[in-house]
Amino acid sequence: MIHFDTHALVSRLKTIESLAVIPRVASTNLIARRVVTECIENELSLPQAMIIAGEQFAGMGRNGRQWSSPAGKGIYATALLTRPATELPIIPLEMANTVATYLRDVFAIDARIKWPNDVIVGRRKIAGILTEARVQDDRVFLIIGIGVNVEPLADDIRPNAVSIREVSPGDFAGIQVATVAFIEHVDERFAHPFDRQVVLDEWQRLTIHRAGDRIEVLLGDRTVAGTWRGIDEHGRALIQSDGNVVAVSAGDLLLA
């Protein structure tokens, strides 16, 4: 179980105003959706908050996939955040940057990003991010679900997963220390404006993709195959396919 003084931690944070730690829940994103809906329907300000679960029994990734969330094995968090609507296109990239730099700065792990925001070590996934947004006027209400593998997963649900315990080169104090460090790192990143060019440049430094790499992108029931040509100013993947460059804003990218 995760046990720490949430009030003491929040008192030293810069952006996160509220922190909830729940032992077991279906999904932290589901709770966050209810909070956002209540705030919008009652014209209330969205709290800058984070929900941490010790275990999720219905955690979800992109495209409705299950995200295995057993107790004591990972950080299962959802951040609620309000930002200017102009920042929305780069939010997925910035969140990938945030998680990758957390792993790099705190644990000296060579974490890299697979477009748009899977965080991997080598060719194995160590963290996933699922971002939902509700736009209202010039503001966007964000629900940012983040899962980080902390301890090895002894199951077949995610055979290509890897954990902090397995790849950190230094001493590792366990999930409680990892969780507190995660909250502090995310809070520090949230304290600054998301400058588009800074986000794009950092993402480019951290990505595994290089010009000319063969890749495939799954878009619903069709696949776009081609070569990587980087990202544009909106964070869309540029894929050269059949003589044309296709800008892809959503999908699952496979390394060919």
Residue 31 has pLDDT above 70, yes or no: yes
pLDDT tier at 83, thresholds 50, 70, 90: very high
pTM: 0.91
Is the bond preceding 47 in cis, omega lying within 30 degrees of 0?
no
Element (H, E) at 200: helix 196-206
Q: Which residue in the block uniquely carries the two structure tokens 């829940």? A: 25
Residue 251 has pLDDT above 70, yes or no: no
What integer pLDDT is reported at residue 65 of this predicted model?
Answer: 59
Mean pLDDT of the region 80-101: 93
Domain ranges of the chain: 6-206, 214-255
State how beta strands 49-53 and 18-22 pair. Answer: parallel
The per-residue pLDDT for range 119-177, each reduced to its tens digit, is: 999 989 999 999 999 888 888 999 999 999 999 986 656 678 999 999 999 888 889 99
* DSSP state for residue 249 in the 8-state scheme: S
Question: 39 or 155: whose pLDDT is higher?
Answer: 39
What integer pLDDT is reported at residue 45 of this predicted model?
Answer: 86
What integer pLDDT is reported at residue 254 of this predicted model?
Answer: 63
Half-sphere exposure in the Cβ direction for 142 (13 Å, CA) = 28
Question: 100 or 69: whose pLDDT is higher?
Answer: 100
Residue 61 has pLDDT above 60, yes or no: no
Q: Which of 102, 99, 104 is nearest to 114 (CA)?
A: 99
Q: Which of 172, 173, 152 is nearest to 161 (CA)?
A: 152
For residues 96 and 119, the answer to whether their CB atoms sit within 8 Å is yes
Q: Which residue in the block uniquely carries the two structure tokens 């069709």? A: 222
Question: 159 or 4: whose pLDDT is higher?
Answer: 4
Residue 218 has pLDDT above 90, yes or no: no
What integer pLDDT is reported at residue 59 of this predicted model?
Answer: 58
What integer pLDDT is reported at residue 223 of this predicted model?
Answer: 84
> CA-to-CA distance for 99 and 147, rounded, in angstroms?
10
Enter the CATH code of domain 6-206: 3.30.930.10
Q: What is the mean pLDDT of the chain?
A: 88
Residue 179 has pLDDT above 90, yes or no: yes
Q: Which of 207, 112, 95, 128 is nearest to 167 (CA)?
A: 112
What integer pLDDT is reported at residue 68 of this predicted model?
Answer: 63
State how beta strands 222-231 and 214-219 pair. Answer: antiparallel
The per-residue pLDDT for range 200-216, each reduced to its tens digit, is: 999 999 999 999 999 88
Question: 240 or 159: whose pLDDT is higher?
Answer: 240
Residue 55 has pLDDT above 80, yes or no: yes
* Beta carbons within 8 Å of 156's beta carbon, 6+ residues apart: none
> CA-to-CA distance for 148 and 57, rounded, in angstroms?
16
What percentage of the chain reaches a pLDDT higher than 70? 91
What integer pLDDT is reported at residue 253 of this predicted model?
Answer: 62
Enter the CATH code of domain 214-255: 2.30.30.100
- Helix, strand, or coil here: 254? strand
* Beta carbons within 8 Å of 167's beta carbon, 6+ residues apart: 109, 121, 126
Question: 137 or 52: whose pLDDT is higher?
Answer: 52
Mean pLDDT of the region 22-42: 90
> CA-to-CA distance for 255 and 17, rounded, in angstroms?
39
